[in-house]
Amino acid sequence: MSSVTVQMTTQAVSASISLARVVNWDGTSRDLRQILTAAFDAKDYPDCIKNLKAQDIEPLSYIDSLDKVGSCSTLEGTFDSLRF
């Protein structure tokens, strides 16, 4: 019997894409934890967060969305496990 090795490749997602998904979050999708983790882990996150307007993200909308995330009971504990 031979074993087969499966290689998984992950494609890095730009922080701007993930941050835009946060802004457009409808409040019900449970995949927000993965979206936030992808944003925070993205290599371009520091540059994106410094100038949200250059990413076509309104800073106040982003902050409001994070407030919505923080008040969502279905994602309770999300920020506790994220790496900053």
pLDDT of res. 17: 92
* pTM for the structure as a whole: 0.66
List the structure tokens of 23. 């802004």
pLDDT of res. 84: 45
Residue type, 16: S
Residue 70 DSSP label: H
List the structure tokens of 82. 């994220």
pLDDT of res. 2: 54
pLDDT of res. 1: 54
Q: For the chain, which residues make up each domain, given as ranges?
A: 15-75
The DSSP H or E segment spanning 39 is: helix 32-41
Distance CA 13, CA 43 (A): 9
Each of the 84 residues of the chain gets a pLDDT tens digit; together they read 555 554 444 456 789 999 999 898 887 777 888 888 889 999 999 999 999 999 899 999 999 888 887 776 555 555 555 544
Distance CA 52, CA 20 (A): 10
